[in-house]
Copies of this chain bind each other. A is one copy, B any other.
Amino acid sequence: MAAEVTAQTLTARHRPTLDQALEAIRTRAYWSPHPEHPKAYGEHGSLDAAAGRAAFDALLGTRLDLGQPGTDAWVGGETSPYGIELGVTYPHADPDVLLPAMRAGQPAWRDAGPELRAVVCLEVLKRISDRTHEFAHAVMHTSGQAFTMAFQAGGPHAQDRGLEAVAYAYAEQTRVPATAGWTKPQGKRDPLTLTKSFTAVPRGVALVVGCNTFPTWNGYPGLFASLATGNAVLVKPHPRAVLPLALTVAVAREVLTEAGFDANLVALAAEAPGEGLAKTLAVRPEIRIIDYTGSTAFGDWLETHARQARVYTEKAGVNTVVVDSTDDYRGMLANLAFSLSLYSGQMCTTPQNLLIPRDGIRTDQGPRSYDEVVTDLAGAVDGLLGDDTRAVALLGALVNPGVKERLDAAPGLGEVALASRAVAHPDFPDATVRTPVIVKLDGSKPDDEAAYLSECFGPVSFAVAVDSTADATALLSRTVRAKGAMTVGAYTTDAAVGRAVEEVCLEESAQLSLNLTGGVYVNQTAAFSDFHGSGGNPAANAALTDGAFVADRFRTIEVRRPS
């Protein structure tokens, strides 16, 4: 090992952070070691805004050579949703060469044990954290997120989720001691005595299939959970969002090498256009774990075909907000308007169906009819996004043509309560920035059901008129059971309604946010405290992050012998 990254120095540097993370996942109180504010960076070796921007600019048009074995071509072709060509090329791997090379380093990584693996992972996260400004540009120009969101969600929040996974992995692997004595009394005879050792062993090579919208946030939990449990990790990014994960792989390889481990424990699998590499890799016998975020179709394909692997999927879902009553009508509208607008609704957690009784709701401003609620919400969105500069900072750019197609088709689904408008981006004239559309649907019309019972990913929401709040909870139940949901929201001042919605969420395994009217939004979760998804409905088969997310990534092997 290099002088500065011995086991001792890494443990001294990161063990306190690990201990805090272990405490946080137990108490679920607020905690994060990763600053959210861009100005918090620039000291202690971290890049400030200018340096981060310069580092990103220096990457454009370059070949990112990771020094991986089996590289047989260079591939790339990312175009920013903001219009610029990234021009970065990445190694394309021959899996017959790369996968065996990745396995070669596993025994030493296994023998390092849970604590050393954890602090090596924390060193990787620390170096990524130091380059948060650089990563923010990389996330912005692949996902289309506005800079501040790319900075926060792609930086500290993603790093939090990675650290959380490391903490869970460490906790899980250390539930049994490394060695144990076992003495069984035998009455008058000598007792039976054994010495037992317990070793966490990896499943094999883990595959992370990245997504377009949150390459780091959705990629880090699986990546770090697998690496911290002793597995080599092959990262297959979305072809439109390679750079953030390629930089991540580069950092991991650098730290592993300096710490005396095989760099190939983490590798990149970039693909040529149209290659469909994930399908090829997913069924390789070396691949024993897969983490995937994306479409239901491919998630189902993975679960069906990658039978040699443990497959963790986050797929499509239909998120619902039940609107029954509120004692803070303005707060509710502002909160919902923000949730619908953030990243132009391109979050797996964005509300899609707003279930509103057709007879209206009770509010602190007096009763409001269905039409008034919808009009007021449209007004709140308009107000939030009225200023173009503020709008582009909140909305971001549409991530791919499919989102724009769905947005353009939305007015055909019903009466438009709020039309989407194009917003000019002052810095990136080629960016497609659009405000959300709100379409009125009727929950009692069979024709409307196809729309509100399908995921319409992007800035499209449906104001669904329902007969009553009871009708709303019934539709919520049916929606979650049939289509899944990453989030459920509800607004009510009636304790019985709150309990009814809660009962549906407990019964159908959905995470519920109740009466959010301030600065916390239904589409945002905080690592160490909130679970992302439940793993219990069709939207995802795992939650970020809990015991189940890490416990099956390794096995515990026991060697017992007479004492």
Listed in ascending order, the chain A residues whose CB lies under 8 Å from chain B are 25-30, 107, 110, 172, 175-177, 180-186, 192, 194, 196, 198-199, 201, 203, 303-304, 307, 502-503, 505-507, 509-520, 526, 529-531, 534-536, 543, 546-548, 551-552, 555-562
Of the candidates B29, B201, B561, the one whose C-beta lies within 8 Å of that of A514 is B561
Known interface pairs A107-B503, A184-B30, A512-B560; A546-B536 also in contact (CB < 8 Å): no
Beyond A28-B177, A176-B26, A562-B517, whether A199 also contacts B547 by CB under 8 A is no
A546 is contacted by which of B180, B502, B518, B551 (Cβ under 8 Å)?
Answer: B551
B304, B511, B559, B562: which contacts A512 (Cβ < 8 A)?
Answer: B559
- In the complex, the answer to whether B536 meets A192 with C-beta atoms within 8 Å is no
Select which of B28, B186, B512, B561 is within 8 A of A557 by beta carbon: B512
Q: Is the CB of A180 within 8 A of B555?
A: no
- How many Å from the CB of A156 to the closest CB on chain B? 12
B-side contacts of A562, CB under 8 Å: 515-518, 520
Given A543-B555, A556-B534, A559-B505, the answer on whether A28 and B512 have CB atoms closer than 8 Å is no
The residues of B that contact A503 with a CB separation of less than 8 Å are: 107
Chain B's nearest CB lies how many Å from the CB of A541?
9
Known contacts A180-B28, A506-B110, A561-B514; A536/B519 CB under 8 A: no
Q: Which residues of B contact A561 (CB under 8 A)?
A: 513-516
A517 smallest CB distance to B (angstroms): 7
**Alpha-carbon gap, A30 to B29, bound state (A):** 36
Given contacts A192-B519, A201-B536, A558-B530, contact A176 B513 (CB under 8 A): no
A506-B557 in contact (CB<8A):
yes
How far is A513 from B551 in the complex, measured between Cα atoms in Å?
Answer: 24
A175: which of B26, B507, B534 is its contact (CB, 8 Å)?
A: B26
Min Cβ gap A272→B in Å is: 32
With A175-B26, A201-B509 as contacts: A559 and B180 at CB distance below 8 Å: no
Contact A555 B182 (CB under 8 A): no
Tell me the smallest distance from the CB of A330 to a CB of chain B, in Å: 15
If A547-B175, A558-B512 touch, whether A199 touches B506 (CB-CB below 8 Å) is yes
